[in-house]
Amino acid sequence: GQNIDQPTEMTATEGAIVQINCTYQTSGFNGLFWYQQHAGEAPTFLSYNVLDGLEEKGRFSSFLSRSKGYSYLLLKELQMKDSASYLCAVRPNYGQNFVFGPGTRLSVLP
């Protein structure tokens, strides 16, 4: 079976750093993806990890440990516009569909 877990909600302060965790158990693994979804809008791609380690893209970084079935998304210098849901998704095998987690709703407070 496929199972992806994320915290339901998180709150952080503008300018701070927040880490959103994702654990997964899937029948295979061919990549982990993070998407951002603002309320009422479509998800948009943030990052992709297929090998262990940290991938950095500006204020956002994503980490993967395949042996632990674990990833996190790190957001630095938080801005109010970062208030959104963050979706972790796994592609179990190349060419297959993507399995999404429930999403973490992040609220950034002034």
Partner 1 sequence: DTGVSQNPRHKITKRGQNVTFRCDPISEHNRLYWYRQTLGQGPEFLTYFQNEAQLEKSRLLSDRFSAERPKGSFSTLEIQRTEQGDSAMYLCASSIQNTGELFFGEGSRLTVL
Residues in touch with partner 1 (CB under 8 A): 4, 31, 33, 35, 41-45, 48, 87, 89, 91, 95-103, 105
Residue (14 or 41) nearer to partner 1, CB:
41
Nearer to partner 1 among residue 51 and residue 110 (C-beta): 51
Cα(62)–Cα(28) distance, integer angstroms: 20
Q: 43 or 69, CB closer to partner 1?
A: 43
Report strand pairing: 53-57 vs 70-75: unpaired
What is the Cα–Cα distance from 52 to 71, expressed in whole angstroms? 9
